[in-house]
A and B are shown apart, each in its own frame.
Chain A
Amino acid sequence: MDIILKKHIPLTKRDIHIWKFEIDAAVEDLSVYQTLLNKYEEGRASKFKFSEDRERFLWGRILLKRLLGAYLDENTEAIILNSTSGGKPFLEKKEHQHIQFNVSHSGNIIILGFSRSPIGVDVEMISRQVDIDRVSRNYFSMDERKAIDRVSEESKEIIFFDIWTKKEAVIKGIGKGLGIPLKSFNVLDDEGHVKWKPESKASTSDWYVHYVDVKPAYKAAFATSIEDFELSYFSLNE
């Protein structure tokens, strides 16, 4: 995790930085960093019923604060995060808000995305517990459903999670949480171009969503509104 210790990581207007962290491969103890968390964050952590959820949250928060510190050229202590009622964290200080970020975790993986424009990331462990037919019937667009129907049984899971993480990434990028109907857009464009039509406006907003290679048995994606973005992808375990 040395790279985070670098004082400043520059982020240009076209930059998309995606960071990956494998919890099980962590060299350090989580406890080493726990001092970086404030009372609110500790309180939130203590509410988790299962330790693995708690630890995922804590790691996610710690890494987020460390990285934000590097992007904002500030000490970690100066990074103050607040959360919306929907649980989405945001930087409290106005002068910090030019850095946009998004975090996702699943299983053993944490993904963090940073940009100067709205960004969404999502990672999911491919799990057999999802009722693919049901979820895709109710929440996927027609094209997405067809894409799943077209492939063999064994590949359905992979396609499903590919679509799901992309849709989640877009939704998280738009930032309105689960209020957005998942059916209302399609993530299967070859160029990753997603046209999303907000209910209240006549115009569409353009999103670009791409898959991120994490490790076997996982799917991950990020979504950005920058068309000509430049992607950098880092691992936090090396």
Chain B
Amino acid sequence: MGLSDLFLQVAKGEFENEGALAEIDQAQSDSIALVHKNISWSYEELFSRVDKLAAHLQAIGVAPNDIIGVYTDRSTEMMVSILGILKAGAAFLPLDPQYPEERIRFMVEDTGTSLILSQEQYRGTLKNFDANIFFVDSDWNDIETTKDDYQLPEVRTDDLAYIIYTSGSTGTPKGVMITFGNLLSYTVMAVDEYKLTAEDNTLQFGTMNFDVFTEEVFPTFLAGGTLVLRNEASALGGNSFWSFIEKHQISFITLPTAFWHTLCTQLDYEQAKMASSVKLLVFGGEAMSEHMLELWQKYFGSEVRLINTYGPSETTVVVTGFDCQDFDGTKGKVPIGKPFNNVECYILDEELQPCAPGKRGELYIAGPQVAKGYLNRQELTSERFIKNPFNAGRFWIMYKTGDICTYLPDGNIAFEGRNDSQVKLRGLRIELGEIETAINRLDSVKESVVILREDSPGDKKIVAYLVASGESFDPKLIRQELKNVLAGYMIPSAFVPLEKIPLTTNGKVNRRILPPPERKHLASGTDVKLPENTLEETLLGIWENVVNVSPISVEDNFFDIGGHSLIAVQLFDDIRNRIGVDLPLAALFEAPTIRELADYIKGEEDELLTVSASPMVRINEKGTQVPFYCIHGHFGNVLNFAALSRELGKDQPFYGLQGIGFGGVEIPLTRIEEIAERYVREIKAIQSEGPYSLGGYCYGTLVALEVAKQLKRNEDEIAHLVMFDPQPNLYPELLERDVLHDFEDLKKRQRAEIIKNEITGKSILKKAEYFTFRLRDRLISDLYVNGIKFFKKVGRPTGMKLPKILRDVEYTNFVAMNEYNVKGPWEGDIDMIMSKPVVDGYSDQPEDDWSAMATGQVHVHFIEDNGVIAGGEMFKKPYVYKTAEKLKSVLQTKNKDLNYVTSKNGEVKYG
């Protein structure tokens, strides 16, 4: 009765198994063997059917090593079929109808199965299969009427008992050949390890396609216990599962680890109470989570024996186990335990040398549970089932598991991961399970799966799939929390929320259907700071596009998000095109974030417009000489004086006076008198009393003259009035008409020349553009004058910058110049430093022609520059050397005169 007769037959002559079998009590014929729905069969009832089927199969010629398919749902027919095939001495091939038809077809074809046992309900599905189908339910009458008696088959340990297909992680599924010897050794071992007895009620939970099924069925029947086939609802877990356990007073459960994880996440005290009949729960198939163990222990303490098992299908269900019910999961990883009876485990390095405890290596398994190999896969078989160099006499083959393990000092084995879940990313070995464990510990996460994805070639990233324990989770927070427990390189780059982790039909995580992460799931290391103004926003757009990262925080450092020089040049080109600022590449070192770069750009703009709010620019504050104050030309800019100041030397203080309203802070002044008044105040703030040395360039000569006049009216001494390139048209009241006329002629000739140079060889379009530009200039002048008038009238709201066009000091000066009346010459001496080619263009006797400018002496000093009117050439290299030389001598001579003058007047103001 039961399985023992068959197993004894197999064990015949094998002292060890015979002895072990003898120790196991025979199943009682009237005790319950199988429960399904409302059916409850005793051993007598079950096995009389099994033996009848076996006899029938034998009668139709079934012999050892024949492979017979079983295509049934979870039912008494399933159990009768499987047991019947075995008792006929043949091998069963589980074909769970829940598997895709393609997969079933593959298994049938791969094994060459010519007979499938099934149920009437699948007649339609199977009609296209190239095999004989025997319907165990509807054809049962054929069996009932058979007169054949059942004879124990002549099976040997080496004959096939079942074929189980494993898909592995790569390639096509392969059929593992489990022999009767394997099955016998495993079953005897399991009854012993799990201490199963006739009192046990075992849950039949798993699909028959997965070898947890073997663990549920054979040890239970060998021990004389009761096998309870689960209902559909219990697969949902939670109350549905535990109420089934309670109803059937289940004492032994063996589950795929992933499903046990699911149960753990759903636990409550109510369920724990329902589980009071459970004595032993075994799980295996995947790495377990210590976090789940903590959850389990919270409700069960260590009352239920909990075994973390390990075993590939190739070594018949399980080979190691660790009792973990009282393990402290916070202290470390739960080991997979020690090898079970008769199993030998080796942890070896790549040269097949044993690894010292603590050192990682690949796990190899030897012993009677090692399968015969892969069906029809000779090459693969010899790859994975290799000669055992350690125990040639007894277990001469060992199976190469592909799992990375370490021996712990206490002899337990720690599972480090499948070598395919142990991924290598950029040279780093990463154990995905370790990441999962860390994530599962987080309060906001119920469950997680972590995988390495490569959705586009070369773009490998770690992606975490999470089921939130509450409504949702905050990826930023999760990242932050993970940083405390994981190395930075192990932190997933994306967190994808899932409602539940998809499982395959055999209860493993279905990694294949996990969706690729979307952009919004991609995690960034820091909080994303959003742009606060349009400039930052524009820059952010440019960055995201060029750096090709999103999101970018405005405080992310360019070099921290993968930026390098080639990206930098493209970035700056975009900034030039879209914002109109030409930045030096080195700016990225000074301002490596969007926020800083925006400030930098703003700073650049401001610097172009104004050096300070004050029109006084301190070009050189130090030195012992009388300070020189020099007033800007018509562009308002004094930066062109910098070189001149430098050439004068450090001992000569040099101040530039730039256009008022340059920075858009002040409304420009449009009368020379007002401008001069303002400058006088600025000069007085630096030097409270005279004598003063003043200078002006071009249009600035007019202002300098006015400043000098105002100072003089205030009874201040003027030491020097220096005019750089004064233009005759600035002084129509003082100069001869001929000079003015000749100068205008020269100007026209030069302008014509410039225009010709500008547009020569350019397209009609370019020419048109040039003239449009000039026309626009004139329109802007008009607009400018009216704009200034408007703002002067209505005032300006505080904090508002003037429109850019009104900040253009060139126009201020244009307006001011036209409205100014010189009203008589300077009452003193003037030194004029002028471009020789320009002066030659309109005057034969310059000192004479310009003499009307002053009541005193007018000294003319020539600079041989390239003669461009208002070109500022004399301030540029190389002409600036000569200019500085002339100015220096002017200032020195004048100082001597000054001493003479002051002493003559008897008032010593300067010595």
- Chain A residues close to B by CB (< 8 Å): 23-24, 26, 28-31, 45-56, 59, 85-87, 106-108, 124, 129-131, 134-135, 138-139, 164, 168, 171, 177-179, 182
Contact = CB atoms under 8 A, between A and B. Distances in A.
Contact of B589 (A53, A85, A164): A85
Nearest to B559: A87
Contact of B427 (A26, A45, A107, A130): A26
B586 A178 contact: yes
Interface string B390-428: 000000000000000000000000000000000011111
Interface in B547-596: 548-549, 556-557, 559-562, 564-566, 568-570, 573, 576, 584-586, 588-589
A70 B589 CA distance: 32
B489 interface: yes
B292 interface: no
Given A30-B489, A48-B562, 9 more contacts: A29-B429, A31-B428, A46-B488, A50-B525, A50-B562, A135-B573, A164-B566, A178-B586, A178-B588
Contacts of A49: 524-526, 549, 556, 560-562
Contacts of B427: 23-24, 26, 28-30, 55, 59
Interface size class, chain B: 35 or more
A171 B585 CA distance: 13
Contacts of A24: 424, 426-427
A53 B556 CA distance: 14
Nearest 7 CB-CB pairings of A with B? A178-B585, A26-B427, A179-B586, A55-B426, A49-B525, A49-B561, A23-B427
Nearest to B590: A85
A237 B566 CA distance: 27
Given A23-B426, A29-B428, A51 B491 contact: yes
B764 interface: no
22 contacts: A26-B427, A29-B427, A29-B428, A29-B429, A31-B428, A48-B562, A49-B560, A50-B562, A51-B489, A52-B562, A54-B489, A55-B427, A55-B428, A85-B589, A129-B548, A131-B573, A134-B570, A135-B570, A138-B573, A138-B576, A177-B586, A178-B588
B493 interface: yes
Contacts of B429: 29
Interface string B98-113: 0000000000000000
B428 A47 contact: no
Given A50-B493, A51-B426, A86 B589 contact: yes
Contacts of B560: 47-49, 53
Contacts of B584: 178-179
Contacts of B565: 168, 171, 178
Nearest to B562: A53
Contacts of B685: none
B487 interface: yes
Contacts of B566: 124, 130, 135, 164, 168
B911 to A, nearest CB: 41
Contacts of B585: 178-179
Interface string B27-57: 0000000000000000000000000000000
SS class, residues of chain A in contact with chain B: helix
Nearest to B524: A49
Contacts of A45: 488
A98 B827 CA distance: 69
A52 B426 contact: yes
Contacts of B493: 50-51
A171 B569 CA distance: 14
Contacts of A46: 488
B743 to A, nearest CB: 38
A29 B424 CA distance: 9
Given A53-B560, A85-B589, A178-B585, A134 B573 contact: yes
A47 B573 contact: no
**Most chain B beta carbons < 10 A, residue from A23, A29, A51, A134:** A51
Interface centre among B429, B568, B569, B584 (most CB of A within 10 A): B569
Contacts of B424: 24
A178 B488 contact: no
Contacts of B426: 23-24, 30, 51-52, 55-56, 108
A182 B586 CA distance: 12
Contacts of B562: 48-50, 52-53
Interface in B34-86: none
A24 B557 CA distance: 26
A31 B360 CA distance: 15
B570 A130 contact: yes
B586 A53 contact: no
Interface in B478-496: 487-489, 491, 493
A164 B564 CA distance: 13
A204 B680 CA distance: 49
Given A47-B557, A51-B426, A53-B562, A138 B569 contact: yes
B487 A31 contact: yes
